[in-house]
Every structure is written in C-alpha cells, then in structure tokens.
Amino acid sequence: GVTAQGLHIYEKENKLQPKTSFTWSEIRHISFDDKKFIIKPVDKNSPNFVFFSQKVRMNKLILDLCIGNHDLFMRRRKPDSMELQQMKAAAKEEKQRRQVQRNRLAREKQLREEAERERANMEQRLLQYQQEITLANEALRRSEQSADLLAEKSRVAAEEAILLSQKASEAEQEIARLRLTALRRDEEKMTLERKTREAEMLTARLVEESEKRAAEAHGLKNELLKAREAEKHAKEKLLDFLSRLTSYDLIQHADSDQLSLEIEKERVDYLEKSKHLQNQLRELRSEIAVLKVGDKQSNYDSLHEEQVKCGENKYSTLKKSKSGSTKSRVAFFEE
C-alpha cells in the first residue's frame, strides 16, 4: 500500500492492518528488476526489503506511485515561500491580537462581576442600616412617649401631694378649733374627744398618704430622668447611623456590561456550532448503521468492526505497524 506517509506491507487476507510499514524518511532507494521489487532502507545495517509481483506492469505502477507520493512528501517539507511566511505571520499576529482581546474582555468581565458583588454588598449594608434606623426611631418614639407619661404621672402625684398637705393643714386647724371649743364647752367634751380622735386618725392617714404620694412623685422624677437619658442615647445612635450612610456610593459599569454581552454572544455561537456538528456526525453514523446488511458484509467489514470494538483506529494501527527499528521490521516480515 502506497500512502502519503510511506509504504505499507499487508497480508493477502487482511488489508486493514499492515504487517509492517516504511516511512519515506526511512527509504533510501526504490527500484525493480523484472518482477523483483527492491526497497533499500536508509540504515545501511538493515538488509534490502525484496518482494516479487506477478506482473512487471504491477511493479512499474507501484514505482510510479512511490515516486509521486515521495515527491509530495518532500514538497511538504520544503521551507515555505516568503509570501506564505508573511501570511502565516499575519495569521499568527491576528491570533495573538484576538487572544489579547479575549483576555481583556475576560478581565473586564471579572472586574464587572466584582463590582456587581460589591454593589450587592453595599445594598445589603444599606438595607441593614435602614432597618437599624427604623428600630432606633421606634425606640426613640417609645422613649418620648414614656417620658411624657412619666412627666404626667409626676405632675399628678405632685398635685395630689399638695392637695393632701392642704387637707392635713386644714385638719390640724380643725383640731385646734375643736380643742378650743372643748375647753369652753364641758358638756360637749365626749363628743369633741370622739371627733378629735377621728380627726387625729384622719390626720395620720392623710399624712401617711401625703408621704406615700411624695415618695411616688420622687420615684417618677427619677424614672423621668432615666427616660430622658435613654432618649438622648437613641438620638446619638441615630445621628451616628446617618453620618455613616453619607459615605455610601454605588459603582456603575456600563462599558463592562457591553463587553460581557459580546463574550456571552461568542460563547453561545460556539456552543451552537459544536452542537450542530455533533448532531450531523450522529445522524451520519445512524445512516451508515441502517445501510449495513449482515449477510452482505465482507471480511474487511468484520475486521473493521473488531478493530472498532477493541478501540483501534487508523492512527493507532499505523503506530503499531511502524514500531521498532527498520531492521527488526524487515526480519519480522521475512520470518
């Protein structure tokens, strides 16, 4: 078998797996003499590879194929022309420019994502500050209401204490008057003594109630002072929150959004093309499987299916056939 890589020697019953192969770089000279075909390797220590064909015309055809493929082999390994080198250099520069652009877009996308995350964090912190301000305002409102209520209670207690003091003073005056009247009227002594006792009891009760109201008024004054202190603390906390919020600033990146859209568009186009090619390959394999008829399969079809099941392909088969030195391959074939 003559290919662009070299010569492949097959067995008659198996033309899929070459028994041995010679690349063009390993072949020094090819010639034939009548029905005898001679291949001389580059390695001088290796013997010549010789085989016989049935017809002289077949040897001439093999030699022509070898010459043509060897010319192509050498042509591909010639240095590129100046024009081709310039085209390759331009293509390489374009590839590098595209890579730089892709790197720039990726970096800008990363910066935009970081900015988005920072903005989300700032918005979360702003929401938290707003909630804290709401709670502080509510606490301040309750403190103001408590302070007003305590002030009202203190005023009422003070008025009651004053009223009780006035009643106690009036009761003492009444006792003094009754005592003077008792001295003048002996016949009313018992009645006056009873009234005196009642007045004393009332006076004692009023004095006790007055002291109780005075103590309650003092306690309410203390609570009022504490409420005003809490109100002052809540106002200071609110002012602190408002001062911290003045440094908040959101970051906008309109250019980053546009670049992210371009990157996303390129990625979607690539995925669509890849998916389309995979679908075409799957449909082609399905059509080939449908066209296969078990009774009409040749020996080559069976050999090919066995190679596919074993995971073999064209490249692995050629690699195995070219393994080892030229001398060992010639000796293996002659055996």
Mean pLDDT of 92-103: 95
Question: How confident is the model at residue 99, as a pLDDT?
Answer: 95
Residue 122 confidence class, pLDDT cut points 50, 70, 90: very high
When comparing pLDDT for 42 and 290, which is higher? 42
Question: How confident is the model at residue 100, as a pLDDT?
Answer: 95
Mean pLDDT of 307-316: 69
Residues 82, 153: Cα–Cα separation, whole Å: 105
When comparing pLDDT for 39 and 250, which is higher? 39
Question: How confident is the model at residue 334, as a pLDDT?
Answer: 58
Mean pLDDT of 145-151: 82
Residue 104 confidence class, pLDDT cut points 50, 70, 90: very high
Most confident of 21-25, 94-98, 187-191, 269-273: 94-98
Does residue 53 carry a pLDDT above 60? yes
What is 1-78+304-335's CATH number? 2.30.29.30
Residues 246, 115: Cα–Cα separation, whole Å: 20
Q: Exposure pattern of 130-158 as b/e (b: 16+ CB <10 Å)?
A: eeeeeebeebbeebeebbeebbebbeebb
User: How far, rounded to the nearest angstrom, does the alpha carbon of residue 256 sit from its chain's CA centroid?
Assistant: 18
Residue 274 confidence class, pLDDT cut points 50, 70, 90: low
When comparing pLDDT for 308 and 260, which is higher? 308
Residues 9, 15: Cα–Cα separation, whole Å: 9
Residue 171 confidence class, pLDDT cut points 50, 70, 90: confident
Residue 251 confidence class, pLDDT cut points 50, 70, 90: very low
Question: How confident is the model at residue 117, as a pLDDT?
Answer: 93
Question: How confident is the model at residue 250, as a pLDDT?
Answer: 41
Contacts of residue 68, defined as CB under 8 A and 6 or more positions apart, other chains included, come to none
**pLDDT of 222-233, one tens digit each?**
555 565 566 566
Mean pLDDT of 328-333: 62
> Which of 12, 63, 10 minimizes the C-alpha distance to 35?
63
Does residue 215 carry a pLDDT above 80? no
Rounded to 5°, the CA angle 141-145-151 comes to: 145
> Which of 203, 128, 194 minimizes the C-alpha distance to 172?
203
